[in-house]
Structure 1
Amino acid sequence: MREKIENYLYDLTKKYSQVNKISFSANVISEQVGLKRSTVSSYLNEAFRNQILLKIKTYPVSFLHKKAFTETFFEAQYLEYNSFEELFAEAPSNYKEKDPLETVIGAFGSLKEKINQIKTAAMYPNGGLPIMLMGASGSGKTFLAEKIYEYMTEKQIIDFSAPFVSHNCAQYYNNPELLSSVLFGYTKGAFTGADSNKEGLLDAADGGVLFLDEVHRLSEEGQEKLFTFMDTGEYSPIGNDSLKKKANIRLVFATTENIESTFLPTFLRRVPVVVSLPRFYERPQPERLQLIDQFFIQESNILQKELSVSSKVIHFLIDTDLEGNVGKIKNLIKFACGNAYTKQYNNQRINVKLLDIPVENLLQPYPSAKISNQHNIDKRVYLPNTEIQPNLETSERKKLKNFFTRLLDDYKKIEDNTLTSTQFISFATENVTLLMDEFIFFTPEDKETSFFSFITYNIRSAFQFMNENYGFVQDGNKILSIANYLYVKESQDFLFDSTDWVDLKKPLLHFLEEQMKDEVWLAKRFLNSLSLHMDSEVLDEDVVFIALYLHSMNLTLTDNSIKAIVLAHGYSTASSMANVANRMLQKNIFQAYDMPLGITASEVESKIFQYIENYQVEKGLVVLIDMGSLNIITEKLATKIQSPLLVINSFNTPLLLEVGNLIINSQTIFEISEQIADWLPIKRQLTTPKTNKKKAIITCCYTGMGSAVQIKEILQKSLGETGETLTVLPYDYLKLKENKRQELPFQMYNVLAIVGTENPEIESVPYFGLDRLVNGEQIDDFVQIIAQKFAVDGENLKQELIFNFSLKKMVESLTILDADRVLNLVSDSISEMQRVLEITFNANKKYLLFLHISCMIERILRKEEVDKQEDIENYIKENRMTMEKIHRCLQNIEEKYTIKISDLELRLLNDIVFN
């Protein structure tokens, strides 16, 4: 008897997230196991004293099986807790609370948008929003309604003991008035047979969830009474309109009918969230297979036997069409398993074959759209009482897991000194390359359906972001490989149960950051951008995998310098001269186009446009051509290009070398045009875009371009859709300070403002300091400038700016460091500076120091250097004492991050402190 109770509670604890928490009370357990409550209570308390159970001192008292809880969630520190919330509050940092709605098959695929709609309705304040589930009979509406209830209790939207009342209205097909009485209750004498007052479903569901299936059976009068309750929270029982009762209920409806023709328009207006569930055969093939797997696992548990299901059975079930009814598929599987069990009940493994399916179903024709594409699925084996079914994993997922297993095994060898760091990186890179080469040719069954298309589309967007900001070139194979990688993973953390991964991922990531810092940094930036588009987490395993993949490509970021092309008539004239120049310059500066003699100006124009489409030319394009007649392209292109264009008529190798050197030395296109003027009799023509200039905001930072780029990202996030038409352009502070309006942005754009950490002082261009955006002083002025040129919601933009420019959000956005940790360390250093230097910093100065030092730490960790300072030796002689004091105040940071702060960095800090 004791064993029976413990086994029941073990299974119940394993299903914790799927059941009402009231199920763990002695009263409910006694009902389920068929024993007296007092007997069950006595056994439960004895098992608690023997440390077999956990006790939750709620009302009523609840019990969880300790071993089952540890296996499913984490190891509890104590045996007794005041609430379930207190128990889960001690979950370790790597524990991820289960989301019942995300366990629904298709939650990351065909149902993704629908699940998001449901979550929005559930989380909506003041009682949430009513939800209508539409779908064919057996499409899973009741199952989804139960998951909605679980989600609400897990997220503490409603109390864990709140009721879930489910009622099928179809049984009142011929008596809608009776349905109203069941729903609202009735008073004595309301109708013949009403001998006493009777509470209704609204009373029973108060504080919880009421699920009304086939709700279209409600009469028009019943609909009116129900939407009155939805508006006011009040209702009257049948027979007494003067009696007003109140209830707080989350409403979920379900129907198989067309809602427009079945419900009153006034009723539908009160149901803003309508979720249409797909039929079984409308689901992507992987989801159909998952549903089939789930039903066979359930049968394996019921029969307590291994089930070996032939590939023909799986193919039949995937392709069959039982009116789109998931429930009928489930019953078909139940019958087939029962049929096979009857014949083989003495065997440990039951073989389920096609002939175990009822003959009348086998005679049904396959849907032609499905059977035309046979699936490469072998027989499948299902194990009873097993959460992880290794036999059901796809070969692609197995390969991924094997990759990470091998990776972790190799990493252990580094710690054991049996493998060098170089060998480890080499082996890992080779394995990633082999795997991604396979993924290029992996073709998902539902490649054209929403989930795969959704992944691919967002990867393209992330690549575009990387290309625009870091020169990361987009490539079709890269996109396809990464899309297939994420598709195989289904964006899930599939290493959560690996103890090696949990123990080693932090040191492994730290090791990779030291060995290939650029690739890890780029992988994080890429995945951060992707996560914003896909509303998904950035997983450590993905950072590791993508970083190794980038490393495997011998990645070198394309620079954002001026580009140059050479056009010449002849078989190899242009390419020969460009090759010579590129080799002598030791850099691939010139792209060559060899042209036939009869080529027209429009064809040359087309060649240039083709180049512009494939390369970044924001800083300008130099075109060197070999015949004067071709310079007519300048005027033609001026009306179409978006960047400065310098056309040089005629060229030779010395001129190519001169132009190449000027580009390498970061000269602007305007400076190049002026300096080659000595090469007479060369004709040249410099033109800027003749189209209307786009509006832009420039970002700059005293410490370099890296921070300017990151400030741009924060601004774009704040601007939202406006950021698509307003260019935010990071630019070199020193060049702006020195050359003012002669710099490229002012030739290319209508610059509305400059945002940065130091004012370059450009006449008639408003400057907004980050410190004053953070403390709110300049938020209104900044919003006003934007609102003058764009149709924006000023208040909303203001709130976005206030949120995104808070100090913690800034540090999180500008660095990949732990924001809380770095801010605490920097705070200590700033306090020490004030004490040692006997200075009290104002709020703006403190902000600048917080921001600068945080970025400085990451910059040093990534081995990036600040711009060279020619006067550094003289500066140190003049400021040695204060620089040394500042250095001493930063020793805690040097020790914690194992870094060395250079004189160049100290000079910048000294300037901030005393300027």
Structure 2
Amino acid sequence: MGIDISRYLKEITKEFNKENLKQFSANSIAEIVELSRSTVSSYLNKECKRGTIIKIKEYPVIFLDKETFSNVHFTPMHNEYDTFDELWQEGSKIKKVDTWSKVIGSKGSLKEQIEQIKTAVLYPENGLPIMLLGSSGSGKTYLAKCIYDYCFGEKLIDPKAKFISLNCAQYYHNPELLSSLLFGYTKGAFTGADRDKIGLLESADGGVLFLDEVHRLTEEGQEKLFTFMDSREYSPIGDNSIKKEAKVRLIFATTESIQSAFLPTFIRRLPVIVNIPSFAERPQQERIHLIDSFFLKESEILQRTIQVTKQVMSFLLFSNYEGNVGKIKNIVKYSCGSSYTKMKDQKVIKVRITDLPVGSEEQLKENLYHQISNRYQDRVYDYMHPELLDINNSEQKNIKKTYFQFVDGFKQVEAGTVTFEHYINEMMNNVNLLVDELMFNVEVNNNQSFFSVLTFNIKSTFKYMEENFGLEQDGNKILSIAHLLYFKEEQEILINHPEWYSIRPRLTAFIQNHMGNVLWLAKRMLAHLSERLDSQVLDEDLIFISFYLNSMNIQGVKNEIKSIVLAHGYSTASSMANVANRMLKKNFFQAIDMPIDTTIDYIEGKVLDFIDNNSTENGLILLVDMGSLFDLRIRLEKKIKGPLLLIDFVSTPLVLEIGSMLLQHKNIIEINEEIIKNVKINKQLVYPVEKKKKCILTCCYTGMGSAIQIQDILQKSLKQEDSSLAITPYDYHKLQQNKQKELPFQIYDVVAIIGTVDPKIESVPYIGLDHLIGGEDVEAFINILKSNFKIDEEQLKKDLIFNFSIKKIIEKLTILDVNKVLNFVQDAVDKVEEKLGIKLSNNKRFLLYLHCSCMVERILRKEDADMQEDIEEFVQREKRKIEIIGYAFSEIEKEYTIKISDLELRLIFDIVFSD
């Protein structure tokens, strides 16, 4: 039983904090593991002596798993401590302070800059000189101090080493004095030099010297300084025969252009130039965090809770002070002081527009009517509870809770405590609960300018998604996303989650693998919306929108063939594409108008941009009015994601002809074979140059719906995250008719086909779905997989048997009770056999169970079957049999109050009488 105690203690130690100490007592542990307290206490004390458990002798005595505690916090030096504080104080001495975590933007706009700084600081010997380049007030001095702290934290300098700062601008009109300050001087060096005096280089020996506004140095001063940078030697002013040496880490800062303000010889000694963004150049979330930090500091100084109106927040965020952080900080200080003088006897002081300093009038006029001014909530700053800052209203609390659940729930998936299906369903439910709450329980004035702007642009984005990717517009979707973005206020929520940055890539990959095309759709949608709103796309919003779209039962993108018209001239390509799109009533063609002197590099770049932002796996047609097909082929064949049809000719009739074939859903091979048979043009069909990915095709006689279900079940069974295997649903009738001419065989190495009817493709193994359900062909399928991939054979066999059962397949129904609909369908199929006097094979019976169960739900959802042009003629020809099938299913119509159309009855007929 000791193992159970150990395992339990390991688990709860992961969540250890000051608030839950009691659960680590022997008494609490004994209750959970269902052993006597004395047994548990004996075991814990024995393990403490062995060094695997930490004992804290407070009341009650608590025990922690030492290995887990060390992984989460720090490695304790002892096994026993008298108090919790004694343990924690030891940790505060051991743990290294992360200097950069306190820098706003360290994981955002300053991420690359901080990496540059680390590279310079950690360079062997004495590091590399660093030049900080940025506008006045952008935070260069603050960063220089952080660099000093980082050197100290990394033990690169002695704890007693100094940080010395000098603003060279103060001595601009007296360069001799500046040089003497830097290098020191000897007695008699100039009038008033009545004694030797050391310079800042000597004072900073072993530490850090920061020279701000270093462009104020004269050319002579620059030369003396770079001589020191080369040799670590310098001479005091007044006696060049004296050679002194100092080991100083140098940080420079300037607001001027490097090239124009410094000698070339000085510039060559600056291997690390760090560009610091201004306040205006920072992402909006970072600007908010900076303002928050200033108000929190004032709250601490004034010992008051500070409430700031949304108008003041908008003013500070969008004021045009050339992005001067220092100026914003001073405005915050003045405004808080102004409010304090009026309300100093109150515990909460309120900062309003009237508290802004004199001289802000022009800025005020510019920003007061800013379209986003009404978007922000009043913010409350309490130095006693700074953690409550970002959740000061119920909407933001709910948003934060939902976003944090993305990460916390995924941790449970990785730990194996919940299944990925449970996680996905729970997250979809959470997302829908949140948008319902925001839409129906929170009042938004639709006349508020930003909400109107949001709604308009989201509607435009959905129109773009519908035209290009087949994602239908929906008023509820538009309002849901508008409400979320309105209340979220462009804040990056998960930046505050301690595990977000480590989990983010794995969570994104998980969504990519388990939720089909929704992540791709979310990226396209937010990229388009971001461009229109001039805002950044956040990964956390991609995850939210992915779960939201997945909850809409979107099966995937309409992965149609894409087409681009490239032509020289101001609007030649646009004119042809627009004419064709209008006449075809479908947005098939994108246009790229090119200057006359366009290079092939330009064409390649434009095509690759299109490929990156569109799904082109089914093919891309490129019509170019002039250029070398051979050169384009060589450049693109290693970069394309699907087949590329290159045509060295463009005309409106040709564009219309290609569009008419796309309307007929012809694939790219058929288009290549049929296009303008009587006109000689240069064209090449190019396939991606790479080792073909292995692929399993799924198909169903009655349509793509069941093929997609088979795909889902296979993915669940294989738990495959191997990028070398694709599982692709495909149209049965195309496979049966065109065999290996169909597109999947050009793109993939097809290792098997799984479906309801064999399309009879030579050299490709077929496994019937009924045989997988019956278990006859499970071994055969596993053998196919074994010959191509590494698999866990026993586990896969269990998963296949479990997932490929009729009930598991039909469990994907979301409206109907599975057992109930199966019973009704079984009775209907029995009547079909009886009335028609036939005996159905197990395969047909299974296929009818699957098809008809899904059919009932489809009708309830008001989703129509595909149109059949000959339906009236067919019904007349097979009138008796159709009437019998209709009679057999009449009980289902009564039970579910639905009408089964002739189109649906014809599909059932096809299954019953198919060969």
* Normalised TM-score (structure 1): 0.51
For residues 146 and 446 of structure 1, do their structure 2 counterparts lie closer, same or farther at Cα, with a shift above 3 Å needed? farther
For residues 880-901 of structure 1, the C-alpha deviation after alignment (integer angstroms, 9 at most, x for no partner) is 3333233223223223332211
Pairing 1:394–2:394 present? yes
For residues 728-752 of structure 1, the C-alpha deviation after alignment (integer angstroms, 9 at most, x for no partner) is 1111111111111111111111111
Alignment partner, residue 861 of structure 1? 860
Pairing 1:812–2:860 present? no
Pairing 1:131–2:164 present? no
Q: 2:440 aligns with which of 407, 412, 425?
A: 407
For residues 409 and 378 of structure 1, do their structure 2 counterparts lie closer, same or farther at Cα, with a shift above 3 Å needed? closer
Alignment partner, residue 620 of structure 1? 619
Is this contact kept in 2: 1:698–1:729, CA < 8 A?
yes
Q: 1:435 aligns with which of 479, 483, 502?
A: 483
- Residue 618 of structure 2 aligns to a residue whose secondary structure is coil
Alignment partner, residue 759 of structure 1? 758
Is this contact kept in 2: 1:697–1:727, CA < 8 A?
yes
1:212 offset after TM fit, Å? 7.5
Output the CA distance in 2 between the equivalents of 1:635 and 1:883.
56
Is this contact kept in 2: 1:311–1:378, CA < 8 A?
no
Q: 1:472 aligns with which of 508, 521, 538?
A: 521
For residues 675 and 833 of structure 1, do their structure 2 counterparts lie closer, same or farther at Cα, with a shift above 3 Å needed? closer
Alignment partner, residue 825 of structure 1? 824
For residues 618 and 433 of structure 1, do their structure 2 counterparts lie closer, same or farther at Cα, with a shift above 3 Å needed? closer
1:780 offset after TM fit, Å? 0.7
Output the CA distance in 1 between the equivalents of 2:512 and 2:599.
35
For residues 477-516 of structure 1, the C-alpha deviation after alignment (integer angstroms, 9 at most, x for no partner) is 68999987899xxx9xxxxxxxxxxxxxxxxxxxxxxxxx
1:565 offset after TM fit, Å? 0.7
For residues 667 and 593 of structure 1, do their structure 2 counterparts lie closer, same or farther at Cα, with a shift above 3 Å needed? same
For residues 581-631 of structure 1, the C-alpha deviation after alignment (integer angstroms, 9 at most, x for no partner) is 222222211111222333332332222122111111111111101114355
Output the CA distance in 1 between the equivalents of 2:597 and 2:30.
71
Pairing 1:605–2:607 present? no
- Residue 683 of structure 2 aligns to a residue whose secondary structure is strand
- Residue 623 of structure 2 aligns to a residue whose secondary structure is strand
Output the CA distance in 2 between the equivalents of 1:745 and 1:401.
40
Alignment partner, residue 633 of structure 1? 632
For residues 750 and 217 of structure 1, do their structure 2 counterparts lie closer, same or farther at Cα, with a shift above 3 Å needed? closer
- Give the letter for the 1:580 counterpart: V
Where do residues 521-600 of structure 1 align in structure 2 (5 Å cutoff)? Answer: 526=547, 559-600=558-599
Alignment partner, residue 892 of structure 1? 891
Pairing 1:684–2:683 present? yes
Alignment partner, residue 49 of structure 2? 218
1:755 offset after TM fit, Å? 0.9
Is this contact kept in 2: 1:815–1:855, CA < 8 A?
no
1:783 offset after TM fit, Å? 0.9
Alignment partner, residue 359 of structure 2? none
Output the CA distance in 2 between the equivalents of 1:867 and 1:148.
66
- Residue 647 of structure 2 aligns to a residue whose secondary structure is strand
For residues 446 and 697 of structure 1, do their structure 2 counterparts lie closer, same or farther at Cα, with a shift above 3 Å needed? closer
1:469 offset after TM fit, Å? 7.3
- Give the letter for the 1:626 counterpart: D
Alignment partner, residue 40 of structure 1? none
For residues 586 and 398 of structure 1, do their structure 2 counterparts lie closer, same or farther at Cα, with a shift above 3 Å needed? same
For residues 563 and 661 of structure 1, do their structure 2 counterparts lie closer, same or farther at Cα, with a shift above 3 Å needed? same
Alignment partner, residue 264 of structure 2? none
For residues 835 and 378 of structure 1, do their structure 2 counterparts lie closer, same or farther at Cα, with a shift above 3 Å needed? farther
Alignment partner, residue 793 of structure 2? 794
1:803 offset after TM fit, Å? 1.7
Alignment partner, residue 901 of structure 2? 902
Is this contact kept in 2: 1:563–1:589, CA < 8 A?
yes
Output the CA distance in 2 between the equivalents of 1:214 and 1:393.
47
Where do residues 59-208 of structure 1 align in structure 2 (5 Å cutoff)? Answer: 131=10, 134=13, 139-140=18-19, 142-145=21-24, 162=34, 165=37, 201-202=38-39
Is this contact kept in 1: 2:736–2:760, CA < 8 A?
yes
Is this contact kept in 2: 1:823–1:854, CA < 8 A?
yes
Output the CA distance in 1 between the equivalents of 2:880 and 2:520.
42
- Residue 855 of structure 1 aligns to a residue whose secondary structure is helix
Is this contact kept in 2: 1:601–1:630, CA < 8 A?
no
Where do residues 469-508 of structure 1 align in structure 2 (5 Å cutoff)? Answer: 472=521, 474=523, 475-476=525-526
For residues 766 and 486 of structure 1, do their structure 2 counterparts lie closer, same or farther at Cα, with a shift above 3 Å needed? closer
For residues 737 and 262 of structure 1, do their structure 2 counterparts lie closer, same or farther at Cα, with a shift above 3 Å needed? farther
Output the CA distance in 2 between the equivalents of 1:402 and 1:609.
36
CA RMSD of aligned residues (A): 5.2
Output the CA distance in 2 between the equivalents of 1:905 and 1:655.
38
Where do residues 194-343 of structure 1 align in structure 2 (5 Å cutoff)? Answer: 201-202=38-39, 217-219=48-50, 253-255=64-66
- Residue 753 of structure 2 aligns to a residue whose secondary structure is strand
Is this contact kept in 2: 1:627–1:649, CA < 8 A?
yes
Instruction: Count how many residue pairs are aligned between Structure 1 and Structure 2.
Output: 553
Alignment partner, residue 464 of structure 2? none
Is this contact kept in 2: 1:719–1:797, CA < 8 A?
yes
1:753 offset after TM fit, Å? 0.8
Is this contact kept in 2: 1:437–1:481, CA < 8 A?
no
For residues 570 and 444 of structure 1, do their structure 2 counterparts lie closer, same or farther at Cα, with a shift above 3 Å needed? closer
- Give the letter for the 2:484 counterpart: M
- Give the letter for the 1:407 counterpart: F
1:461 offset after TM fit, Å? 5.6
Is this contact kept in 1: 2:717–2:799, CA < 8 A?
yes
Where do residues 713-862 of structure 1 align in structure 2 (5 Å cutoff)? Answer: 713-721=712-720, 723-813=722-812, 817-837=816-836, 841=840, 843-862=842-861
- Give the letter for the 1:396 counterpart: Q
Is this contact kept in 2: 1:456–1:483, CA < 8 A?
no
Alignment partner, residue 146 of structure 2? none
Is this contact kept in 2: 1:631–1:649, CA < 8 A?
no
For residues 376-397 of structure 1, the C-alpha deviation after alignment (integer angstroms, 9 at most, x for no partner) is 5467999xxxxxxxx9863424
Is this contact kept in 2: 1:573–1:594, CA < 8 A?
yes
Q: 1:447 aligns with which of 495, 504, 516?
A: 495
Output the CA distance in 1 between the equivalents of 2:499 and 2:819.
36
Is this contact kept in 2: 1:568–1:626, CA < 8 A?
yes
Is this contact kept in 2: 1:662–1:672, CA < 8 A?
yes
- Give the letter for the 1:404 counterpart: E
* Normalised TM-score (structure 2): 0.51
For residues 408-440 of structure 1, the C-alpha deviation after alignment (integer angstroms, 9 at most, x for no partner) is 899xxxxxxxxxxxxxx9996775354223145
Q: Which moved more, 1:790-799 or 1:806-815?
A: 806-815
Alignment partner, residue 186 of structure 2? none
Output the CA distance in 2 between the equivalents of 1:880 and 1:444.
63
For residues 631 and 695 of structure 1, do their structure 2 counterparts lie closer, same or farther at Cα, with a shift above 3 Å needed? same
Is this contact kept in 2: 1:145–1:252, CA < 8 A?
yes
Is this contact kept in 2: 1:142–1:213, CA < 8 A?
no
Q: Which moved more, 1:824-833 or 1:633-642?
A: 824-833
Q: Which moved more, 1:757-766 or 1:680-689?
A: 680-689
- Residue 859 of structure 2 aligns to a residue whose secondary structure is helix
Is this contact kept in 2: 1:704–1:866, CA < 8 A?
no
| Unaligned ranges ≥5, structure 1 | 1-120, 166-200, 227-250, 265-277, 286-309, 319-350, 355-374, 383-390, 411-424, 492-522, 530-542, 551-555
Output the CA distance in 1 between the equivalents of 2:42 and 2:20.
10
Q: Which moved more, 1:891-900 or 1:830-839?
A: 830-839
